[in-house]
Structure 1
């Protein structure tokens, strides 16, 4: 168990260092780029999300109801230029997340982890940008449910959302994701936690 905790802490540190490196790297944009900044030409974004999560009992093998309050720090880095034309324009980005969940049902506990997600932003509108994403990562929890065979688990997730622009650099972010946690049959028992997460936050383009 101590090895699992040490591994998780190391991965968490590496992700934090990566995010700090990206944050302090030079943006290299001129005044014209600053004026036109939006999802069509931004280099990346920092996002802070918060919200609520709830498991779906009897969805798959999920048996326990677990409710959480979520806080997620996210960095997104665009990998491609805007592609397409007219009503169909899209950009591809990769997102690194450091999620924290405070469990309040069935009892107090925490969940912390690191995620790597692929995201597609549909950029035809300059005001509203819908997106879809998928990915996964690692999650550590001290929840200690009878159906969870270990504290260090994997997760995968998929979801959708909307970016709503307040100004050229500041964006409201509405996000829904379907979230799965299990130990991938590396320990017994292995009852998964299948849940929905409803999140809202702010994104800051760079």
Structure 2
């Protein structure tokens, strides 16, 4: 991957964090609703050599988008969020390396907001740069569509312990071949804070 492309990915990821919590005073808009810190373990099968193993560290910025979904007639009692999620992952196998990127996800709660136990579904995509070279992927810059389910357990009104499973597909969208992709199961644990 060229250095200018890597710099562009990092700049876009950092700029995405600058989205304001409220665009205009007095209007219903998207607002920053919370932040999550997650870490865990992931593993994917490689066609050649040892499995792909990672230890991810993620920070998710949760934006309440109910004001927007209400305008299209979707107004559930549960959480409806858009997440901006920068992450860093330590690749421990096949060789020690790093992955860095940013994901954009939608998160939908399955029960009313005021319940202590909050199961949810999540899905989206992002961009990733990995220093690991694999036979499966001809490029180090890739895309990561992903989906998962999780559970928040609120220990008080604003703080929750979180457990989450994600399926992640890593691919360069056939920009260059080979592009057989790397599928990974990722298990995450952490803490969430509502504002």
Q: Could you say whether these structures have the same fold, taking a TM-score greater than 0.5 normalized by the shorter chain as the test?
A: yes
Say if 2:39 and 2:190, in contact at 8 Å, map to a contact too: yes
* TM alignment of 1:53-72, pairs within 5 A: 53-57=42-46, 65-72=51-58
Say if 1:94 and 1:116, in contact at 8 Å, map to a contact too: yes
Deviations 1:17-63 (A, max 9, x none): 33xx44xx69x9xxxxxxxxxxxxx96110000000000456xxx97
Cα drift, residue 14 of structure 1: 1.1
Aligned-residue Cα RMSD (Å) equals 2.3
* TM alignment of 1:162-181, pairs within 5 A: 162-181=151-170
- Tell me the residue number matched to 1:96: 84
> Unpaired segments of 5 or more residues in structure 1?
29-41
> Are 1:77 and 2:63 counterparts?
yes
- Tell me the residue number matched to 2:99: 111
Matched pairs, number: 181
- Tell me the residue number matched to 2:35: 46
> Unpaired segments of 5 or more residues in structure 2?
26-30, 68-73
Instruction: Report which structure shows greater RCO (CA 8 Å, sep ≥6).
Output: 1
TM-score (norm 2): 0.84
Cα drift, residue 115 of structure 1: 0.6
Q: CA–CA distance in 2 between the matches of 1:150 and 1:64?
A: 19
- Tell me the residue number matched to 1:121: 109
> Are 1:155 and 2:141 counterparts?
no
> Are 1:7 and 2:8 counterparts?
yes
> Are 1:202 and 2:191 counterparts?
yes
TM-score (norm 1): 0.80
- Tell me the residue number matched to 1:142: 131
Deviations 1:73-94 (A, max 9, x none): 001111117945xxxx423110
